[in-house]
Structure 1
Amino acid sequence: MIDYTLPVIDLHRHLDGNIRPATIWELAQQHNIPLPVDNLAQLADSVQIRDRTSDLLAFLKKLDYGVSVLADLDACYRIAYENVQDAKNESLDYVELRFSPYYMAHAHKLPVDAVVEAVINGVKDGQKEFGVKANLIGILSRTFGVDCCELELQALLAHKDHIVALDLAGDEAGYPAPLFSQHFNQAQRAGWAITVHAGEAAGSDSIWNAIRLLGASRIGHGVAAQNDDELLDYLAENQIGIESCPTSNYQTTTLVDTANHPMKSFFHRGIKVTLNTDDPGVSAIDLEHEYRVAYDVIGFTKEELATIQLNAVEQAFLSDDDKAKLKSKGVKK
């Protein structure tokens, strides 16, 4: 249900949550890293979610398989490069790839700043090879705690001209936004935009904190906003977008029923909703799948989905000139 005559954009895609099962298998063989399966077919069943998990933290555990095989910087480069190739294969015009360098470095104790550099180089070379425009969003993985996030932030700031925004992801309930206000003050001083995972595993207060304490101009998931009329009005009036990821929300049990996903009510409240894949390698989906879910299950019309595609242009962390280029897109070949 994507209109390919309009810009095709994914704004909420985790680079480290989009590692191909075949790549995980090959890297494990290359580096003699044990996996709890005997072949690639079994691995796909282990690393991808076919229905749903028990909660957000169980979902995040699935990502651990991919990062467990990042044994050197070449592996980090490879998955970044392959993410851009995947975007090309999905006919995306623009993608924002977010990643947690500490999370990627953790299993094999890689230097975090070097992981950032490897990812930047992989995405840069992928853009040259495949012709897809991509930007990088750094993630602070709050699950590891405040001190590790500071280390992660400094590694990202060392390459600040190659990063467009900062995000906070991981255990939302266990590590709330107030713990990280100083980190995001630094990010804003560096000139970065801010997007924050909020309202996924905690309530609407988490979204308010993301905006007021961290400076978020976009909210990842934002499901809990449905319970706060004042917040809904605020998001609409201030054009703070919600990066909706319906399949992910079902798989993490953030929502029980995709047909009643609040993104439709968000849309009709005038909020700049976008449609995204989150962790497509784990969820075993692509962006076309999410648009079909939005049409077939949530009940958006084709005209509404076209508006959502254009919302993504407006909400993208791009210059006005780059947005204008996307909007002027002709019919895809």
Structure 2
Amino acid sequence: MINPNLPLIDLHRHLDGNIRAQTIWELAQQNNIALPVKHFEDFIPHVQIIESEPDLLAFLKKLDWGVNVLASLDDCKRIAFENVEDVFNAGIHYAELRFSPYYMSMAYNLPIEDVVAAVIDGVNEGMKKYPVKIKLIGILSRTFGVEQCQKELSALLAHKDKLIAIDLAGDEYNYPGELFTNHFKQVANADLHVTIHAGEAAGPASVWQAINDLKAERIGHGVKSYQDESLLEYMQQHNIAIESCLTSNFQTGTVTDLSKHPIKTFLKYGIPVCLNTDDPAVEGIELKGEFKLAQTVLGFTDTEISQLQQNAVAVAFMSDSERKALIEAVAKK
């Protein structure tokens, strides 16, 4: 079971992939957006995955409903605030929420830089109301191409003091990391951390590229890393973390048998792997449920569960003093 003396941390959690179905429904009514059904209960299958999807792109389409109702900056601020509330209600002590401002802006052509500011404001308001610590990661959505990602990066860097890292997400197979090397040189110059979605739709070569060229400190998903033993050894030696998301990997079809998920292999190699949600509203899950899956389906022991928690603390993008304060705060409860 989860160790109550250690923090519960979610490092791979998409803010724009965690828009409540009720909020999507309400914003659609508010913004006069047509929906395919007349009753809320019938809308759930459109925005939440009921069974495994055939591939990553089919999974990602489920997320589109949420961003397609964001007609104003206030809507963006609302979902950011609700994300903080959701983190608190899930019993999570610390989370790094990632978001793609272009993805959130595109349906109504909102100013990308202003979307970033709205998300920051919503999260800050949420932290004033709820005693939980949140940091923000900006996403470059590779699916929309190199030029659009440059606009997105420029908008994010305009608020770089309010962000902790930059991520590359989206269609990994058709838009490989090689296209974005220049973007991440700018990220390095801005002194921001780097986490990259890799080894999900593509193989180990994608993970190597993320590490060597984009300077990834953490890898989102990284499922296919198990196919290259030298990669696993390298990640262990250089303390490169894997942000693992069990239900997500099953629902995207990346893993067809959850009991054979390579997270145990990563742990065995000494890679600092941790457990995360990815898109909880779309997946219909929360972090404590993912830990329960690790125990019941993968047979994780209490010691292994604690190790996952410890790994999350160790690889979170925070200072040593913040780490110490978080551990002490949880231990006192």
Per the TM alignment, residue 326 of structure 1 is displaced from its structure 2 partner at its CA by 1.6
Per the TM alignment, residue 77 of structure 1 is displaced from its structure 2 partner at its CA by 0.2
Q: Deviations over 1:207-262 (max 9, x none)?
A: 00000110000000001110001000000001100000010000000011000100
**Residues 57-68 of structure 1 mapped to structure 2, 5 A cutoff:** 57-68=57-68
**Residues 1-333 of structure 1 mapped to structure 2, 5 A cutoff:** 1-331=1-331
Gaps of 5+ in 1: none
Q: TM-score, normalised by structure 2?
A: 0.99
Letter in structure 2 aligned against 1:151: K
Q: Secondary structure at the match of 1:202?
A: coil
CA separation in 2, counterparts of 1:128 and 1:311?
Answer: 28
Letter in structure 2 aligned against 1:43: F
Structure 1 window deviating more from structure 2 (250-259 vs 33-42): it is: 33-42
* Contact 1:13 1:279 (8 Å CA) reproduced: yes
Per the TM alignment, residue 181 of structure 1 is displaced from its structure 2 partner at its CA by 0.5
CA separation in 2, counterparts of 1:301 and 1:114?
Answer: 46
CA separation in 2, counterparts of 1:329 and 1:2?
Answer: 17
Letter in structure 1 aligned against 2:232: L
Per the TM alignment, residue 284 of structure 1 is displaced from its structure 2 partner at its CA by 0.5
CA separation in 2, counterparts of 1:332 and 1:43?
Answer: 43
Letter in structure 1 aligned against 2:56: L
Aligned residues: 333
Q: TM-score, normalised by structure 1?
A: 0.99
Q: What's the Cα RMSD here?
A: 0.9
Q: Secondary structure at the match of 2:108?
A: coil
CA separation in 2, counterparts of 1:197 and 1:274?
Answer: 15
Letter in structure 2 aligned against 1:98: R
Per the TM alignment, residue 37 of structure 1 is displaced from its structure 2 partner at its CA by 1.4
CA separation in 2, counterparts of 1:115 and 1:323?
Answer: 29
> Identity of counterpart residues, as a percentage?
56
Letter in structure 1 aligned against 2:143: T
Per the TM alignment, residue 5 of structure 1 is displaced from its structure 2 partner at its CA by 2.4
Letter in structure 2 aligned against 1:107: A
Aligned structure 1 segments of 4 or more residues deviating by more than 6 angstroms:
none
CA separation in 2, counterparts of 1:28 and 1:4?
Answer: 40
CA separation in 2, counterparts of 1:222 and 1:330?
Answer: 29
Q: Secondary structure at the match of 2:180?
A: helix
Q: Deviations over 1:51-70 (max 9, x none)?
A: 11110000000000000100
Letter in structure 1 aligned against 2:70: L
Per the TM alignment, residue 40 of structure 1 is displaced from its structure 2 partner at its CA by 1.4
CA separation in 1, counterparts of 2:97 and 2:124?
Answer: 12
Structure 1 window deviating more from structure 2 (148-157 vs 42-51): it is: 42-51
Per the TM alignment, residue 26 of structure 1 is displaced from its structure 2 partner at its CA by 0.4
Per the TM alignment, residue 85 of structure 1 is displaced from its structure 2 partner at its CA by 0.2
CA separation in 2, counterparts of 1:58 and 1:3?
Answer: 35
Q: Secondary structure at the match of 2:243?
A: strand
Gaps of 5+ in 2: none
CA separation in 1, counterparts of 2:326 and 2:43?
Answer: 38
Per the TM alignment, residue 331 of structure 1 is displaced from its structure 2 partner at its CA by 4.7
Query: Judging changes above 3 Å, is the alpha-carbon distance between structure 1 residues 238 and 16 closer, same or farther for their aligned structure 2 residues?
Result: same
Q: Secondary structure at the match of 1:10?
A: strand
Q: Secondary structure at the match of 1:310?
A: helix
Q: Secondary structure at the match of 1:308?
A: helix
Structure 1 window deviating more from structure 2 (38-47 vs 21-30): it is: 38-47
Q: Deviations over 1:244-288 (max 9, x none)?
A: 001000000001100010000100110001000000010000001
Letter in structure 1 aligned against 2:115: V
Per the TM alignment, residue 191 of structure 1 is displaced from its structure 2 partner at its CA by 0.7
CA separation in 2, counterparts of 1:150 and 1:30?
Answer: 32
* Contact 1:9 1:93 (8 Å CA) reproduced: yes
CA separation in 1, counterparts of 2:157 and 2:14?
Answer: 19
